[in-house]
Amino acid sequence: MQPARSVSGAAGVASGHRLATQAGIEALRSGGSAVDAVLAAAFTQWVVNAPQSGPGGEMVALVAPGDDRTDSGVQAYGGWSRTPLGRAAPADRDGRAPAAAGDGDSGPWPPTSGPRNAVVPGSLRGAEAAWQAHGRLDWAELFTGARAAAAGHIVTARMADVYRRVESRGHVQALQRMLGADEAPQQGATIRMPDLAATLETVAQRGPDAFYRGELADRLVAAASREGAALTHDDLQAVEAAVEPARHFELEDIEGWLTPAPSQAAITAALLATAPPGADPASREYAEATAPLAQNELTEFCRQGPALASGTAVATALDRHGLSATVVHSLAGVQFGTGWVAGDTGVAFSNRVGTALSDRADLPACNPRPGAVLPHTLSAAHVRRRSGPGWMTLATPGGDRQVQWLAQAIQRFRRGADTAEIASGSRWFVCPTGDRFGVPAGIGQPWYAFAEPGIEWRDDARLSGYEVRASANVGGGLQVVTGSSTAGHGSRTEVELASDPRSGGAALAL
């Protein structure tokens, strides 16, 4: 893995794909705000990172103002997914539920693929709320990069690998409907997404209501009825954004704001409170202090409300007025989520109904409830030093790993690491079952510690009771912007952005 390269300037964007970053930069050049920029980047990621994000999933935007406000100045705009009103049938006595039409999965309930595991998506409502509060550009302008990418873009090495995983899961129909291809595209291939392009054009011109109440809603519900999903007009019309202050925490040396419930981001604050301020996050000292807590907190989250695996994309931006914003958005499960693309809309749906829920009696909070907002892993943070200059806005993909990786990045910030090191520093995490995405299904199973090169205990057999599994790359795609002052953001000159090299993305500055 190559170290990240940071860039500096008065404003900028970092994301997991160069085309998305460029779309965000163009929004800033057109006079847009940081929120315009991250949404332009996110909408472009819906195309160039299509197996990992899209309008059929969920989104949160964390927005920090360019002044000294601390109590309510950092806001979260959540576009959360929900369980369909008609999708909560309990499993029968042998742990299975009757198969729905088009499901194609006969394994233990709930499976993670198939239309019947599709969520009611909230992404566009969350994006709309953030834009209404902070946007300066016309809504349609935010889709310029997405339109261009859908007309044709080149597959990167990283995305070629993601598409291979889509194919390995048997989601050939998803490839056919999105790309018109029966097999995964290779690196360097040019791909087009005409159906998704038409859908995004409709949303750009007519707004999110076209998706939730208009002609697109009619087409989505018709496809759901034909193909076995539980999605209805009532489901779509009930979707609203959740707009609320970010969750605030304070430590001796820093204060921070995190995405609020139903996110599991609060675990990040607990991990930071356990770690000594000066501890290296790659050290055994830090790992032994935080690993058991991570396990306990993730397990408790499943008992109180489900956690789940997610395939996510991230964009972060800062504008010339000092407003910083980051967006985390997801389809869950990485490979087109459910594997279901609704008819000819080009919209792939998240499978959180399958990954987040369980009929296990010992995890009652994970049992399906009609219309319930699905708790999730989408986590972002804004942190400031309590004495002296310095602030940071950041987020990372990674499912149940996100809270652990955010804590490790913030720990580097506490230690005075530069922006590039914060983005690319070596990482590790603990999880159950060894599949990296084992919560809630892995609760009660053995937990493991995965570690990249650069972790000092990586070649040891065990870490405080955990079997250690070395990995060349544990994954992720952290995007970060840092500044040298906590006040008067608009007057700062020392601002840096960096993009985690694990994502194959880019950071650009103005």
pLDDT exceeding 90 applies to what percent of the chain? 63
Q: Which two tokens stand for residue 463?
A: 């870490």
By three-state DSSP, how is residue 244 classified?
strand
Predicted confidence (pLDDT) per residue in 140-168, tens digit? 999 999 999 999 999 999 899 989 988 98
Mean pLDDT of 466-478: 91
Task: Spell out the domain ranges in the chain.
Answer: 37-66+79-243+253-312+329-360+395-414+424-475
Residue 488 pLDDT class (50, 70, 90 cuts): very low
Q: Which two tokens stand for residue 465?
A: 């009771």
Is 50 exceeded by the pLDDT of residue 215? yes
Report the DSSP pairing between strands 380-385 and 391-395: antiparallel
Is 80 exceeded by the pLDDT of residue 64? yes
- The pLDDT of residue 103: 37
Is 80 exceeded by the pLDDT of residue 292? yes
Q: Which two tokens stand for residue 404?
A: 């652990």
Q: Which two tokens stand for residue 7?
A: 């860039």
Q: Which two tokens stand for residue 228?
A: 């076995």
Mean pLDDT of 446-465: 94
Q: How many CB atoms lie within 10 A of CB 385?
A: 17
* Residue 66 DSSP symbol: S
Least reliable range by pLDDT among 33-37, 233-237, 263-267, 402-406 = 263-267
- The pLDDT of residue 105: 40
Mean pLDDT of 97-108: 38
**CA dist 118 to 376, 437, 440, Å?**
15, 18, 18
Least reliable range by pLDDT among 78-87, 108-117, 362-371 = 108-117
**Rounded to 5 degrees, what are φ and ψ at 394?**
-160, 160
Least reliable range by pLDDT among 118-122, 199-203, 406-410 = 118-122
Is 90 exceeded by the pLDDT of residue 497? yes
Residue 353 pLDDT class (50, 70, 90 cuts): confident
- The pLDDT of residue 397: 86
* Residue 384 DSSP symbol: E
Against a cut of 0.85, is the pTM above it?
A: yes
- The pLDDT of residue 230: 92
- The pLDDT of residue 70: 46
Residue found by looking up tokens 């869950």 in the block:
332
Contact 188, 155 (CB under 8 A): yes
Residue 97 pLDDT class (50, 70, 90 cuts): very low
Burial of 43 (0-12, 13-18, 19+ CB in 10 A): buried
- The pLDDT of residue 299: 83
- The pLDDT of residue 170: 87
Mean pLDDT of 204-224: 96
Is 70 exceeded by the pLDDT of residue 309? no
Predicted confidence (pLDDT) per residue in 7-27, tens digit? 999 999 999 999 999 999 999
- The pLDDT of residue 503: 87
Please report, as a single letter, which amino acid is at residue 497. Answer: L
2 versus 165: the higher-pLDDT residue is: 165
Mean pLDDT of 83-94: 58
Mean pLDDT of 406-435: 92
Where in 285-364 does DSSP place strands (E)?
Answer: 312-318, 324-330
Q: How many CB atoms lie within 10 A of CB 73?
A: 16
Contact 24, 40 (CB under 8 A): yes
Q: What share of the chain is helix, strand, coil (3-state, %, to 5)?
A: 35, 20, 45
Report the DSSP pairing between strands 506-509 and 12-15: antiparallel
Give CA angle at 171 (308, 212), nearest 5°.
Answer: 65
139 versus 356: the higher-pLDDT residue is: 139
- The pLDDT of residue 332: 57
Mean pLDDT of 202-212: 97
* Residue among 238, 38, 16 at smallest CA distance from 137: 38
Q: Taking all residues of the chain, what is their mean pLDDT, rounded to a whole number? A: 87
Is 70 exceeded by the pLDDT of residue 211? yes
Mean pLDDT of 32-46: 97
Residue 387 pLDDT class (50, 70, 90 cuts): confident
Q: Which two tokens stand for residue 451?
A: 């570690």
Mean pLDDT of 479-505: 77
**CA dist 394 to 239, 453, 499, Å?**
27, 23, 10
Q: How many CB atoms lie within 10 A of CB 36?
A: 29
